[in-house]
Structure 1
Amino acid sequence: MDEARPETRPGTRPGTAEAEPPPVLGRGSPLAAEPPAAPLLNRVAAELVGTAALVAVVVGSGIQATELTQDVGLQLLANSLATVFGLGVLILLLGPVSGAHFNPVVTLAEWWTGRKDPKGPGPREVAAYVLAQTVGAIGGAVLADAMFGKALVSWSTHDRSAGHLLLGEVVATAGLVLLIFGLAGTGRLRFAPVAVASYIGAAYWFTSSTSFANPAVSIGRAFTDTFAGIAPASLPGFVGMQLIGGVLGLLLVALVFDHRRAAGSR
């Protein structure tokens, strides 16, 4: 493992092997089991491409499902299965490059947990990641619409402003952050592709909101008036609840795994 890394970056977490002491929370990337050696430009490109591909999978599978069946249950099943498989592959492929955040909440949570660590991500990196994720999400929605012969940009009319849906977003996002940083804190990042994809697939079904859990993806899905869309007027509520869910998730991480941080600092 190369010790001479000239940059600090999201995605650096030394010693995730089981035989080593448990890593200290907040000292590395959530989804990369190996520290990436890529420059910031490559990492930002990976976040843009990964988020675009994720949204293309979510939106495209939703369009395909509605064209194949009128059964809403089957539509959701097809949409969730495609998302599980697509997300798992993307994390496996791009995690070693950028950490495979694909989510501003994850990026912000990593910045917060590593803010006192000189190896943690800085504001410049966080801003670059969030911008890439948002642009990628919009591009992925436009690409999905193009593949199915839809208008490239058609604002969604799918209202998702009900209070129970907003609660679902808090739960979905808090659970996602707890899972990711819990894996990081216990040295089990190698399971991230399966674990995170499985959680999102489950949350499609056990949350009322079908688990967007991602501000960038939510913004991208506003650009398509299809099965996976969300009306622009519903975005502020969803994004706000996702941020609250991220904070709650970090509080749960501290509550559940703080003993490991204390042990690692001795």
Structure 2
Amino acid sequence: MTNRALAAEFIGSLILFATVVGSGVMAERLAGGNVAVALIGNTASTGAVLYVLITLLGPVSGAHFNPAVTILLGARCDWLPFTLAQLSGGIIGVLIVHAMFEMPLIEFGSKIRTGPGQWIGEFVATFGLLFTIVVGSRQRPDAVPALVALWIVAGYWFTASTSFANPAITIARALTDSFAGIRPLDAPGFIIAQFAGALAGWRFSTWLVPRAHATAPATG
């Protein structure tokens, strides 16, 4: 692990989390109460920035931006510095969004996101994320930025939870009372489901496509 890798995780998480929250704020303001239109704007921005960030920062840090990815696929021995970089960068990104849109700098989410359906959604979303990263990196490494971006775009629409799929972004989204927010009370249920889904996705995908049978070298 290098300082450059930590800096990449910090700035990548800052930009990603700011995009998720900021595009949600902008979309909600422009959609005139139409939630579907707001979600389209939120989804498109998130997918686009994921493609950019993974392409640019993947060679520097692996472009995790996600503690579940770091722990299962990346720097297991260095998971704490990576996670702190992701979380601190992400929270600063949310604060920047609040400042840009002249919202209260410090606030907490009030959107209720809880219950078995939501937890299953987060399990599925994070299972699919790890599956996409592992199988993609072993079969089509050059396509991983697009594959991950497309998975998250799809997850926004087919999961009941709108696919947070990231413990760090769940915490950051608990600190905004906007379209992308979540009640702090509901965050632990999401995080447990995310880690469970990530573990299941990692175990299944590494069994399905072991390194020895991969058609291309893994990138992470």
Cα deviation for residue 247 of structure 1 reads: 0.8
Specify the alignment match of 1:75 in structure 2: 38
- Note if 1:89 corresponds to 2:52: yes
**Alpha-carbon spacing, 1:229–1:263, altered in 2? closer, same or farther (3 Å):** closer
Report the residue type matching 1:134 in the other structure: L
**Alpha-carbon spacing, 1:157–1:43, altered in 2? closer, same or farther (3 Å):** same
Report the residue type matching 2:169 in the other structure: V
Specify the alignment match of 1:171 in structure 2: 124
Report the residue type matching 1:149 in the other structure: E
Specify the alignment match of 2:22 in structure 1: 60
Where does structure 2 lack aligned partners over 5 or more consecutive residues?
216-220
Q: Are the aligned partners of 1:101 and 1:107 in contact in 2 as well (CA < 8 Å)?
A: yes
Aligned alpha-carbon RMSD (Å): 1.4
Specify the alignment match of 2:97 in structure 1: 144
Structure 1 or 2: more helix by fraction: 2
Q: Are the aligned partners of 1:137 and 1:219 in contact in 2 as well (CA < 8 Å)?
A: no
> How many angstroms apart in 1 are the aligned matches of 2:134 and 2:214?
17
Cα deviation for residue 110 of structure 1 reads: 1.2
- Note if 1:221 corresponds to 2:173: yes
Q: Are the aligned partners of 1:155 and 1:223 in contact in 2 as well (CA < 8 Å)?
A: yes
Q: Are the aligned partners of 2:134 and 2:206 in contact in 1 as well (CA < 8 Å)?
A: no
Deviation digits for residues 214-255 of structure 1, max 9, x if unmatched? 000111111100000011001110000000001110121133
Report the residue type matching 1:58 in the other structure: V
Specify the alignment match of 1:261 in structure 2: 212
Where does structure 1 lack aligned partners over 5 or more consecutive residues?
1-8, 10-39, 112-120
> How many angstroms apart in 2 are the aligned matches of 1:132 and 1:50?
10
Q: Percent identity?
A: 42
**Alpha-carbon spacing, 1:163–1:185, altered in 2? closer, same or farther (3 Å):** same
- TM-score normalised per structure 1: 0.77
Match of 2:80 among 127, 134, 139: 127
Q: Are the aligned partners of 2:12 and 2:57 in contact in 1 as well (CA < 8 Å)?
A: yes
Match of 1:185 among 126, 133, 138: 138
Q: Which has the larger radius of gyration?
A: 1
Show structure 1 runs of 4+ deviating over 2 A. 260-264
Secondary structure of the structure 1 residue equivalent to 2:179: coil
